[in-house]
Amino acid sequence: MLNVEEISERISNRKAKEVYELITRQKTVSKIDLLDQSGMTVSTLTRLLEELTSQGLILESGFGASTGGRRPILYEKNPAYAYIFGLEISRTLSKLVLVDLGMNKLDGISWTMTEVMSPDVLVPLIVQEAQRMLGKHGIPISDVLGMGIGAVGPVDRINGFILDPSYFQAKGWRNVDICRLLSRELGIPAMLDNGANTAILAESWHQRSRSFKHLLYIHAGVGLRSSMVSQGKVIYGAVDMEGSVGQMIIQTDGVPHRNVTGNYGALESYASLYAIEKAAKSALKQGRSSALLHMIDDPEQVTYTHIMDALKKNDPLAVEIVTEAATYFGIGLANLLNILHPEKVIIGGPLITGSELFFQTATQVAIRKTYYYPAYQVVFSKGKLGDEALAIGAAVMVMDQLVKL
């Protein structure tokens, strides 16, 4: 496997990395502003700017407004310096994107994660599509920094293994040496983290000019996944606990978890795709009337897609089930707010993108149950990148290696 340290070595020294990072965090910036932000001398900064420009890492992008003397030269990151692949591996779909250093998407493709989509099937597809994208856009492999991978946890991000994820339809996803497999086939470095962490990296980078210091991300879908960024850095625990938010106990004598190792009364048992489908099946078996009955022959055939279709028709049962799940999710969200006190919460995943009712209900419940409200004001968002967040964030993870010491 190619070493990711090769990426960091593209920028020669600590001060050059510092200047480059300052430039990348802003759309354009003048030398005067860089002097204020870096605290460097004029001669040192001038030398570093010339060095970064000659390498093609930054560009001179015109002149700023005059403050009485000569108009200052503006600098910006060169998005065409290199390119990155971002890969999402999730339970319902996997997605590959090709981006430049400005995180502008040049190409992308996704695959539905069916019962046949094992690593032996998916990895060759990823390699084939990555090579097709490079050929289509005329990009030599030498111009690719690497591939970032955001996968369902738990993962061993240091050694590049997907460990033992739950609820994949296909077999073979235990202890997958995913970074080595892709790095070997493509001839580029590969990095791995769990998908919640890559998603919050993407959202944090997208709003890098804003003043939010503490961001919480929750992905609500087949399971519940969370991550947090503080001062622009992902917070890591002793082990990869991406899915642990789903094990939050909200009812001590509640329903058993679908996994025998899960907690009774866990949040995930009340607010997830599985929980919503289970509630709908149970209600229909009890004889409840619903538009769902016109979509299926048997209650066991109900899927989340059916429920969303019924919700669009304002079906009372669908509204009731989604509202109840969102209420439980809001309670769990309030618990996180009362412990972590983030400034902003970004919520993504199928439960959020599939239903405005879920998002509005959950956030209203969370606000009502948050301690110190209204003195403590939290901002809720669906995020700016939507379904692209996990894959784009995986690319951001690779880009960040340029400034790593």
> Is-contact 212 110, C-beta < 8 A?
no
Q: Are residues 334 and 396 in the same domain?
A: no
Q: What pairs with residue 147 in β-bridges?
A: 85, 190
Q: The tokens of 207 are what? A: 């709003």
User: Residue 397 is part of a domain; what is its CATH number?
Assistant: 3.30.420.40
User: Residue 14 is part of a domain; what is its CATH number?
Assistant: 1.10.10.10
Residue 244 domain boundaries: 210-383
H-run or E-run covering 161: strand 161-162
pLDDT at site 66: 63
Q: What does residue 163 show for φ and ψ, rounded to 5 degrees?
A: -85, -75
Q: Are residues 277 and 378 in the same domain?
A: yes
Q: Are residues 256 and 338 in the same domain?
A: yes
Q: Are residues 332 and 304 in the same domain?
A: yes
- Tens of pLDDT, residue by residue over 251-270, are 888 888 888 888 899 999 99
Q: Give CA–CA dist 281/302, Å, rounded.
A: 6
Single-letter code of the amino acid located at 215: L
Higher pLDDT, 123 or 385: 123
C-beta atoms surrounding 25 within 10 Å: 14
Q: Are residues 330 and 277 in the same domain?
A: yes
Q: Are residues 74 and 93 in the same domain?
A: no
Residue at which a domain ends, from 29, 53, 79: 79
C-beta atoms surrounding 367 within 10 Å: 18
**Residue 249 DSSP label:** B
3-class DSSP state for residue 283? helix
Q: What pairs with residue 89 in β-bridges?
A: 94, 151
How many distinct structural domains can be found in the chain?
Answer: 3
Q: Give CA–CA dist 353/323, Å, rounded.
A: 15
Residue at which a domain ends, from 52, 79, 106: 79
Q: Are residues 332 and 288 in the same domain?
A: yes
Single-letter code of the amino acid located at 40: M
Q: Are residues 328 and 265 in the same domain?
A: yes
Q: Are residues 219 and 251 in the same domain?
A: yes
- Tens of pLDDT, residue by residue over 185-234, are 999 999 999 888 898 888 888 776 565 678 898 988 888 888 888 877 78
Question: pTM, whole model, 2 decimals?
Answer: 0.83
- Tens of pLDDT, residue by residue over 133-160, are 999 999 999 999 999 999 988 899 899 9
Q: Are residues 281 and 221 in the same domain?
A: yes
Count the alpha carbons within 13 Å of 85 in the hemisphere toward its beta carbon: 31
Q: Are residues 46 and 91 in the same domain?
A: no
Q: Hunting for tokens 């519940």 — which residue is that?
A: 224
Q: Give CA–CA dist 302/305, Å, rounded.
A: 8
Q: Are residues 96 and 227 in the same domain?
A: no
- Tens of pLDDT, residue by residue over 352-382, are 888 899 999 999 999 998 887 777 888 898 8
> Is-contact 397 233, C-beta < 8 A?
no
> ∠ CA 394-102-343 to the nearest 5 degrees?
65
pLDDT at site 127: 97
Pick from 61-70, 293-302, 316-325, 337-346: least confident = 61-70
